[in-house]
Amino acid sequence: MTARSQYGVVCKTEGKHRTSNIENQTPKWARIHAAIRCSGVGCSMLDVPPGSWAGRILRWLSAQPSAVSARRTSRTTEPAAGCSLSPRERVRVRWNTALLVGRIVAFVTMAFTAMIAGAQLLGSPPVTTNLNDYLLVPLRVHLLSAKESPDISTTLTDKDIARILGKVNRVWAQAGLHFYLESLAQEEAANPELFLAHEGPAERFALLSLRPEETKASNLFHVYYLKQMTVNGIFLGEAIFVKDTASLREVEGGMDEPLPRVTSHELGHAFGLAHRQDKTNLMASGTTGIWLNEGEVRQVRARAKQFPWIEPASAVRQKADEWARTGKPREAEALYQRLAALAAAENGPERKPEPNAAKANEMIELTFASTKTYADPFNDVDLDVSFTAPDGRTVRVPAFWAGEQTWKARYASSKIGRHRYRTECSDKTNRSLHSLASVIEVNPYTGDNPFYLHGPIGVAADKKHFEHADGKPFLWLADTWWMGLCQRLSWPDDFKTLTADRVEKGFNVVQIVAGLYPDMPAFDGRGANEAGFPWTTNYSRVNPNYFDAADRRIAWLVESGIAPCIVGAWGYHLPWLGVEPMKKHWRYLVARYGAYPVFWCVAGEGLMPYYLSHTKSEDAAFQKKGWTEVAAYLRGIDPFHHPISIHPTDMARRQLEDAGLLDFDMLQTGHSDRASIPNTINLVRASRAAAPPMPTINAEVCYEGILDTCFDDLQRFMVWSCLLSGTAGHTYGANGIWQVNRRDAAYGKSPHGGNWGNTSWDDAMRLPGSRQVGLAKKFLERLGAWWELEPHPIRPLKFQSAKGSPARRCGFRRTTSSPPL
């Protein structure tokens, strides 16, 4: 009869199934082992040309004398010395042993030959073509269940796990890793009530409480499958958790189902890989991408070799041979089957895009792993990459430290064709970072994203409006999400919900601060995201994990058709951080986000000192000089030349010592309801008349609902007053969104003790003013040639009204049900 092992290797026994109980097999295997020692039956029985791939496999399996490759000592039927088996028994046992070993070897040979042939046919040979180089990784899979808790109980079966693991190994074959199933535990979750009682960020810590003690181990990776949690998957150091209802955004060449991809992605985190924004990469968040670059492969393999329980295939082979020689045939067989499973695994994905390929104007990311270790990588090393386009134009792009000993560079171009690049490291002795050269291929973009279709945004020749790189006019309509990168606007649910609402209403810009927020002291817990703060608390270095989390949000805005206007820091952070560290902060932002279609805002309220400062005059003077220096630095290092401004206390031109460093003039004109109207009109007119000429944006005025004022009728008046006075667009704001109030946790008090209001962000999202300003933008775009409109002021009418509210004195009346445009 035949019995099929869990790895698919068919082994013949004498009239009965071979069980997994080693005691039941000892007599037979003792006889087989004796026969092997007597006869030397081995791999040489397979007639394979020595120069073929199959021959290489056979040489790999028979490189050293072993129970399956020992030299024949006799071809006679005479009993060998010390052998108790009869000649007939020896022949029969030799045949069974040869069949077992021969089928394993043949299976390995055929599978690996097919793998290589397939890779050669597809033009993407595996990173590791020598089985000795593969690393074998033990994996324990847990299928969790909980009585009366459907949110925990997975419906996956052992057949599902076999399918998932097979696809995981196809993905990780590109790094020469093979995961074998150490065991499959179908078990009751521990402490389900604790998990179900936690939501949001606290949920991930409660996940660990679901692990039963009896199946924990420290010498392998654990993957737990359950029905529901807020994210698709998460790596928590001790274990990986994956929900079996995961969903992903499909990309070209990606995995055909979510669970193998999510599992593979979280295993990447277990090996130290960070998130990437290349959509086809395995470490991209929320996509079906499966690819790794060379730097990531090197990083993973280096990390894997640090685990003592991850072994190379060559070591497993040696151990199997040794056990076979020393009377442990069952243990040896298990290892041989493990090796056979390695060879049987499909070698990587079926089709890979052109290496280092991107589409026009889309960001492409390159990873560089240092083989040299630095104690303080952020401060010890600077890495730049020079890209030369097909037309010969060269730009120098700063790379950013991505954690551990890894740097990444991001690039985008509208030029179709091959782009050459070469790295330049400040440590020229580091051959793994310095003077590396290669090419990337930029292909035409065929989608409908306006930033990729028409190119990034710049200032038009008339210095009055913005336009895409191909000349298509761009009418700015921004929303204000100052604290949108903090964890209070949770990823992905809250962030994507707000994004979708703003896209539907016509917004195409979001003003968002890169972590150094307003209205709070440094390192206030309200400003953290799921990875902490953007800088260490002593300002010694950035926290790359913070920016990995920010990457997902920034990339989502761009993919949704919204240009991030990235504010480097609120103005009063400059005296705390210092000018030189602030330059490093901005270099980091340019490296991370410069390849996206962004606007740069040097600082928020550049001249405003900290609310509780006792040296406000000195701080303001320091900030004006310091932010001027930072703005000049930013202009010098940005290879993509994105438009630059600074969010002001009144007018951007007045925040710097040199207004020529700006590309557009931001205004802030007040939050005093209708009392802000005269200042708004006066500042807009002053900006439009000032030199040098540049587009004007009222970047902050009368947030809707702030202190229970500034409602939709005022929002309509402000957007039309600004647009018809010659601005290049308009910025709207809603109280509750800019500071991210939550229903369960309002933002709270400002440092000065005041409170701007507790409207939650999702209620603020529905305030009618946001739709009204969107309708104004849509009206002008449908009108056509809006950028050619010129302001024509007329003498204002005089209204007579009774004394009363400011609204009546100004001749305006607030209505709560005004019809739309």
DSSP string, 188-239: EPS-HHHHHT--THHHHHHHGGGS-GGG--SSSEEEEEES--SSSEEE-SS-
Q: What are the residues whose beta carbons fall under 8 Å from the beta carbon of 123, sequence distance 6 or more?
A: none
- pLDDT, tens digit, for every residue of 585-608? 999 999 999 999 999 999 999 999
Which contiguous run of DSSP H or E holds residue 687?
helix 677-689
Averaged pLDDT for residues 244-248: 93
Instruction: Give the model's pLDDT for residue 331.
Output: 87
* CA dist., res. 754 & res. 54, Å (int): 77
Q: Where are the beta strands (DSSP E) in 277-431?
A: 311-312, 357-359, 364-369, 383-388, 394-398, 400-401, 406-411, 417-425
Q: What is the pLDDT confidence band of residue 201, given thresholds at 50, 70 and 90?
A: low
SS (H, E, C) 584-612: HHHHHHHHHHCCCCCEEECCECCCCCCCC
Q: For the whole prediction, is pTM greater than 0.75?
A: no
* CA dist., res. 408 & res. 400, Å (int): 5
Instruction: Give the model's pLDDT for residue 50.
Output: 36
Q: Where are the beta strands (DSSP E) in 230-305?
A: 233-235, 240-243
- pLDDT, tens digit, for every residue of 460-483? 999 999 999 999 999 999 999 999
Cα–Cα distance list, 311 to 270, 295, 319, 348, 816 (Å):
17, 21, 11, 20, 70
Q: One-letter amino acid identity for 9?
A: V
- pLDDT, tens digit, for every residue of 264-313? 999 999 999 999 878 889 999 999 999 998 889 999 999 999 999 999 99
Residue 620 CA, chain-centre distance (Å), reads 38
Instruction: Give the model's pLDDT for residue 202.
Output: 65
- pLDDT, tens digit, for every residue of 654-709? 999 999 999 999 999 999 999 999 999 999 999 999 999 999 999 999 999 999 99
Name the superfamily (CATH) of residues 357-446.
Immunoglobulins (2.60.40.10)
Weakest mean pLDDT among 22-31, 399-408, 804-813: 22-31
Between helices 544-559 and 493-505, what is the axis angle to 10°?
A: 30
* CA dist., res. 273 & res. 367, Å (int): 11
What helix, strand, coil percent values describe the chain, rounded to 5? 40, 20, 45
| Omega within 30 of 0 (cis) for the link into 150 | no
* CA dist., res. 629 & res. 476, Å (int): 27
Instruction: Give the model's pLDDT for residue 36.
Output: 31
Instruction: Give the model's pLDDT for residue 95.
Output: 41
Between helices 87-122 and 329-344, what is the axis angle to 10°?
A: 30
Q: Decide if pLDDT at 127 tops 50.
A: no
Instruction: Give the model's pLDDT for residue 130.
Output: 66
From-to residues of CATH 3.20.20.80 in the chain = 454-789
**Cβ-based burial of 235 (10 A; exposed 0-12, middle 13-18, buried ≥19):** buried
Contact 228, 151 (CB under 8 A): yes
* CA dist., res. 69 & res. 56, Å (int): 14
Q: What is the pLDDT confidence band of residue 172, given thresholds at 50, 70 and 90?
A: very high
Q: Decide if pLDDT at 122 tops 60.
A: no
SS (H, E, C) 41-68: CCHHHCCCCCCCHHHHHHHHHCCCCCCC
User: DSSP characters for 414-456?
Assistant: S--EEEEEEEEESSTT-TTTTT-EEEEEEE---S--HHHHH--
Q: Decide if pLDDT at 107 tops 80.
A: no
Between helices 768-783 and 712-723, what is the axis angle to 10°?
A: 30
Q: Output the six-digit token pair for 114.
A: 């097919």
Contact 514, 564 (CB under 8 A): no
Instruction: Give the model's pLDDT for residue 329.
Output: 86
From-to residues of CATH 3.40.390.10 in the chain = 131-309
* CA dist., res. 217 & res. 213, Å (int): 9
- pLDDT, tens digit, for every residue of 336-369? 888 877 766 645 554 444 457 889 999 999 999 9
Which residues are registered as beta bridge partners of 511? 480, 565
Q: Per CATH, the architecture of 131-309 is what?
A: 3-Layer(aba) Sandwich (3.40)
* CA dist., res. 236 & res. 245, Å (int): 19
**Most confidently modeled range among 189-203, 207-221, 286-300, 550-564:** 550-564
DSSP 534: S
**Phi/psi of residue 346, nearest 5 degrees:** -65, 135
**Phi/psi of residue 573, nearest 5 degrees:** -75, -20
* CA dist., res. 648 & res. 646, Å (int): 6
Could you please state the CATH topology (level 3) that the domain comprising 454-789 is classified under. TIM Barrel (3.20.20)
Averaged pLDDT for residues 186-212: 82
Averaged pLDDT for residues 561-581: 98
Instruction: Give the model's pLDDT for residue 195.
Output: 81
Residue 248 CA, chain-centre distance (Å), reads 13
Q: Decide if pLDDT at 618 tops 60.
A: yes
Residue positions counted in the chain: 821
**Phi/psi of residue 375, nearest 5 degrees:** -70, -35
Averaged pLDDT for residues 40-59: 35
Q: What are the residues whose beta carbons fall under 8 Å from the beta carbon of 677, sequence distance 6 or more?
A: 717, 718, 721, 810
Averaged pLDDT for residues 180-198: 89
Instruction: Give the model's pLDDT for residue 294.
Output: 81
Closest CA to 57 of 71, 39, 69, 67: 69
Question: 3-class SS at 26?
Answer: helix
From-to residues of CATH 2.60.40.10 in the chain = 357-446
Q: What is the pLDDT confidence band of residue 623, given thresholds at 50, 70 and 90?
A: very high
Beta strands 466-468 and 457-459: pairing type? antiparallel
Averaged pLDDT for residues 785-793: 89
Q: What are the residues whose beta carbons fall under 8 Å from the beta carbon of 571, sequence distance 6 or more?
A: 603, 604, 605, 606, 607, 608, 609, 623, 627
Q: Decide if pLDDT at 35 tops 70.
A: no
Closest CA to 237 of 269, 199, 200: 269
Instruction: Give the model's pLDDT for residue 348.
Output: 52
Closest CA to 764 of 794, 790, 734: 734
Contact 806, 709 (CB under 8 A): no
Beta strands 599-601 and 563-567: pairing type? parallel
Give CA angle at 770 (766, 775), nearest 5°. 125
Contact 594, 638 (CB under 8 A): yes
Averaged pLDDT for residues 498-522: 97
* CA dist., res. 95 & res. 98, Å (int): 5
Instruction: Give the model's pLDDT for residue 131.
Output: 72
Residue 362 CA, chain-centre distance (Å), reads 16
Quote the mean pLDDT of the chain.
83
% of the chain beyond a pLDDT of 90:
67
* CA dist., res. 520 & res. 486, Å (int): 13
Q: Decide if pLDDT at 84 tops 50.
A: no
Contact 741, 494 (CB under 8 A): no
329-338 burial: b if 16+ Cβ within 10 Å, else e? bbbbbbbbbb
Contact 397, 411 (CB under 8 A): yes
Averaged pLDDT for residues 491-495: 95
Q: Decide if pLDDT at 3 tops 80.
A: no
